[in-house]
Amino acid sequence: MFSGFMMNTWIAATIVAIIAGMVGFFAVLRGSTFAAHAIPNGAFAGAAGASLLGISTLTGLAVFSVAGALGIGALGRRTRHDVATALALVLMLGLGALFVSVSSQYAQETYSLLFGEVFGISPDELLPIAGLAVLSVAAIVVVFRPLMLSSAMPEVAEARGVSTQRIEITFLLIMALATSMTVPVVGALLMFSLMIGPAAAARSFTSRPGLAIALSVAFGLVTVWTGIAISYETNWPLGFFVGVLGAVFYLVGRAWAGARRTRTVRAGRVPAAVTA
């Protein structure tokens, strides 16, 4: 399980889990769950297009995920956010359907782009993944304070001169960056589970941002490590374990939060959550 080619898998999966945990925390906090689903999925179309043109998959993923992020940002300014996201998503997926069907022998590749091919990572793929990872972490660190403020209290951020619009675009671009590196590893559909499940669970356990990010990363790591180990033994797809473990973490988090609420009756929190 820890032989030469598997080391690449472990390293790549670890990087992916860390990034997904960090970006996912903000995605959950901001309520950009749909964007977290749409950008990786749309990026899949870019990968299909890249393999059609014979250029590097990473380039295709990067171009499409950035285009998707900008598209959601631009459309979202004019219409409701979820509608903008849905339209950007289907547009990119429509192109993806075209790319995949024009090159008829890509059925297997479609599957691996959607559901990941974590056991096929070569050493020279690791370097760009690590580079993009460092870049996304650095970006998050740089914009951490305004991003945190505008996610938690948009009105206060606006009043302090933080442009919500600009933060939104910045965040979507960070997500795009993270996506283009993770899609080849865990696949478009499962990148989403990895971003949402651990982060949502972490938020149920604590309301302190630093701790929540750390927990989110930790849950993500446990998810992928367990997933890889079981997947290696059973030969079942990693995506299955990532998706299910993410849901398990979330349910445990909800149960824990529920239990805590009944123990210490915090009347203030419940109505706030309902009316917001």
Partner 1 sequence: MSSVGHLFSYIAAPGLLSSGPVRIAALVGAVVAITSGTVGVFTVTRGQSFAGHSLADVATTGGSGAFLIGLNQFWGFLVFGVGAAAFLEIIGVQRRRGRDVATGVVLGAALGVAALFLYLGSVTTSTTGASFTVLFGSIFVIAPSTVPVLVASGVIAVIVVVVLSRVLLLSSLSPDIAAARGVPVRLVGATYLMALAVSVSLAAVAIGAVLSTALLIGPAATALRVARGPERAMATSAVIGVIATWLGIILAYDSYYWPPRGHGWPVSFFIVAFVAVFYLLTYLRRPSRRGRAQAAAGPSSPRGPRGPKGPAEQAGPGERACSAAS
Q: Give me the residues that bind partner 1 (CB under 8 A), please.
A: 28, 31, 33-34, 36-37, 41, 77-83, 85-87, 89-91, 93-95, 97-98, 100-102, 104, 107-108, 110-111, 114-115, 187, 189-190, 192-193, 196-197, 200, 236-237, 239-244, 246-247, 250, 273-274, 276
Q: How many residues does the chain have?
A: 276
Q: Which residues contact 67 (CB under 8 A, 6 or more apart)?
A: 42, 46, 92
Q: How far apart are CA 217 and CA 197, in angstroms?
A: 11
CB 46 within 8 A of CB 188: no
Is the CB of 4 or the CB of 54 nearer to partner 1? 54
**Closest distance of CB 124 from partner 1, Å:** 27
Residues sharing a CB contact under 8 Å with residue 128, sequence separation 6 or more, in sequence order: 58, 181
Count the Cβ atoms, other than its own, within 10 Å of residue 103.
Answer: 14
Q: How far is the CB of 235 from partner 1 (least distance, A)?
A: 9
Minimum distance, C-beta of residue 86 to partner 1, in the bound complex (Å): 4
The residue among 149 and 251 lying less far from partner 1, judged by its C-beta, is 251
d(CA 24, CA 32): 9
Nearer to partner 1, 101 or 134 (CB): 101
The Cα 170–Cα 76 span in angstroms is 14
CB closer to partner 1 out of 108 and 122: 108
CB of 211 to partner 1, least distance (A): 18
Which tokens in the block code for residue 234? 């059973």
CB of 270 to partner 1, least distance (A): 11
Shortest separation between residue 95's beta carbon and partner 1, angstroms: 7
Which CB sits closer to partner 1, 140 or 189? 189
Closer by beta carbon to partner 1, 91 or else 218: 91
Query: Cβ closer to partner 1: 60 or 246?
Result: 246
- Specify the DSSP class assigned to residue 119: G
Question: For residues 18-55, b (16+ Cβ closer than 10 Å) or e, as one string?
Answer: bbbbbbbbbbbbbebbbbbbbbbbbbbbbbbbbbeeee
Q: Say what angle helices 144-152 and 164-186 make with each other, to 10 degrees.
A: 100
Minimum CB distance to partner 1, residue 130 (Å)? 25
